[in-house]
Structures are given as C-alpha cells and as structure tokens.
C-alpha cells in the first residue's frame, strides 16, 4: 500500500508566489502521509509571456523552480512530480549573443524528483495544445469559447515516452493534452506503468466536457491508477482553467476529487488490487495489435 497525492493550484501570483503556494500544499500532502505527490502543469510559470527566458533561467541559470522541487522533495522525503517547467535539452546551450527572448524554444518538461532531491526522470510533453476552443454546446461556464491556443509557439514537441520505478509502483509520465492520445498510455503500460500521472492546465471549457471522462478511460483501458493534477481558475479573464483534480483507481472509480479551489487529494494506492484486477481481467494480454512507434 502506498499513499499518493495531487496538488491543485491557481498559479496566479507570479513565480515567487506560485512557489510559495505550491510549498504550502506540498507540506500538507506530506503531513497527510503522501509518498508521491503530483503538481499541476506549469505550476510555477503559468501566464509568463517569455517562456524562452524562463527556460534559460531554469536550464542554465539560477533555476529557482528546479531548486524548489529538489529542496521540497528532500525536505519532505517524498517523490515529487514537478508538473512542468520550461527547459532546454540537456546538451543544448544558449546561442551566443542572442537575447533570451529570441533563444530557441524550450520543452514543457515534467520532472520526477526522488526524496534525495535528485531528478531521476524527465519527460518532454509530446502533444502540444494547438487548438481553437469553440464548442457551441459548452454552456455558460465556457469562458474561453472562441479562444485559439498555440502551445507550439512557445514549446518544442517532445519525442520519447518515459516511465520510472518508484516505491509507489512504476510511474508513467504524461501532461495535459497528451490525455487525448490513448496510444501514448498504452505504450507507457507496455513499458511497465502502474500509475499514470497527468499534470495539467485543462481549459474551463474542455475540462467541463472531457477532463473526467478521458482520465477514467485511461484508467479503465490500461488498468492503472491515475492522478490528474490540474490548475484551477475558472474565472480567469484570459486563460480559465477547470480544476477538478482527481485520483482514479484501475476500475475507473473516483477515489477522491476536488472542485475549483486550491487544495490536495490524498489516497492509498493498493498495488495488490491492481495486480489482482490484471489477473482476473487480463485485458493487456488480450491485445491483438502491437504498438508501433512512428518514425
């Protein structure tokens, strides 16, 4: 039995304020016995209009958010999934004499930090949110109706799935818009994932319609625990986010869920139950198609 947790944030106070808020809720999750905690996507830099500069700072400079993740994981003795941060590739260096605002685009990088404060895994978000949100049936909460999102204007596409062993099971890393691509999750499970983490900044419109059904589907079809840690600010004037952070078991049952306020979710992950479900209903053994990665 392992205790897992999700943190839900607004992320509307700038870098220092966002890190302070994240630290507050991480302390409470650890105090509730959580061994692995997931922060939302872009928990530190949401709303920042120069992600290349932020990425350069995090990759080659003072790295305030990365140092925060390392410090909190070490201080609290937890495994920490650090939402996402803008980061450049490890072997990439800033272009000489080029202003930060004109540097190449970073990745949206999801870091897994161990209780020693060491980054043991790093996933670059593969699917970038380049869409127009205009659902005439979205209802009165659709504050972002008609809005066009172009995540690829600020980020590069990642290219590799990532899983990592932890005391809570093998973790499969994914981010937000990835949730709409079930083939990624089947590949993560093929690689051994038992716990799927989905740090997110789902919009208010798409979140109301699709957030929970997609998360439950990924849990059911892959027989995995799922943690969806979302930003929550449904009234934001420019980029409203849905919230609704949730922990789901391999049967697709909601273990616990938040609504629209900041907070934490804590739940026990029973790996024995997961293993029994996979034995009793061996869906993964009944597959008739192989996952073939596109070149």
Residue 103 has pLDDT above 80, yes or no: no
Structure confidence by residue, pLDDT tens digits, 47-99:
998 898 899 899 999 999 999 999 999 999 999 999 999 999 977 766 656 66
What local confidence, expressed as pLDDT, does residue 137 receive? 47
Q: What is the CATH number of domain 2-286?
A: 3.60.110.10
Structure confidence by residue, pLDDT tens digits, 189-237:
999 999 999 999 999 999 999 999 999 999 999 999 999 999 999 999 8
Domain ranges across the chain = 2-286
Number of CB atoms found within 10 A of residue 288's CB: 4
| DSSP state letters, 143-166 | TTTTEEEEGGGT-BPP----EEEE
pLDDT band, residue 142 (cuts 50/70/90): very low
Residue 276: which H helix or E strand, with range? helix 271-280
What residues act catalytically?
Answer: 41, 125, 176
The angle, 0 to 180 degrees and rounded to 10, between the axes of the packed helices 64-76 and 14-31 is: 10
Question: In the numeric block, which tokens belong to residue 36?
Answer: 């692995």
């Amino acid at each position: 039995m392992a205790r897992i947790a999700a943190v839900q944030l607004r992320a509307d106070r700038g870098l220092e304020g966002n890190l302070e808020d994240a630290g507050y809720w991480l302390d409470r999750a650890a105090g509730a016995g959580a061994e692995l905690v997931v922060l939302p996507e872009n928990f530190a830099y949401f709303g920042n209009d120069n992600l290349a500069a932020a990425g350069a700072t995090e990759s080659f400079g003072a790295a305030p958010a990365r140092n925060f993740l390392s410090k909190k994981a070490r201080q609290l003795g937890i495994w920490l999934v650090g939402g996402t941060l803008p980061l450049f590739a490890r072997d990439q260096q800033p272009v000489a004499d080029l202003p930060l605002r004109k540097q190449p685009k970073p990745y949206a990088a999801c870091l897994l930090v161990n209780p020693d404060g060491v980054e043991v895994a790093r996933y670059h978000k593969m699917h970038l949110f380049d869409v127009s949100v205009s659902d005439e049936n979205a209802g009165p909460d659709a504050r972002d109706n008609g809005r066009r999102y172009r995540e690829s204007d600020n980020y590069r596409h990642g290219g590799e799935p990532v899983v990592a062993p932890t005391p809570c099971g093998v973790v499969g890393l994914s981010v937000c818009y990835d949730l709409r691509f079930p083939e990624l999750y089947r590949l993560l499970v093929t690689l051994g994932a038992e716990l799927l983490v989905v740090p997110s900044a789902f919009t208010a419109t798409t979140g109301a319609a699709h957030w929970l059904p997609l998360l439950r589907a990924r849990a059911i079809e892959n027989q995995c625990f799922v943690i969806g840690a979302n930003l929550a600010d449904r009234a934001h004037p420019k980029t409203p986010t849905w919230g609704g952070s949730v922990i789901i078991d391999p049967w697709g049952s909601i273990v616990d869920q938040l609504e629209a306020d900041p907070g934490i979710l804590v739940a026990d992950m029973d790996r024995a139950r997961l293993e029994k479900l996979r034995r009793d209903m061996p869906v993964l053994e009944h597959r008739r198609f192989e996952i073939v990665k596109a070149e």
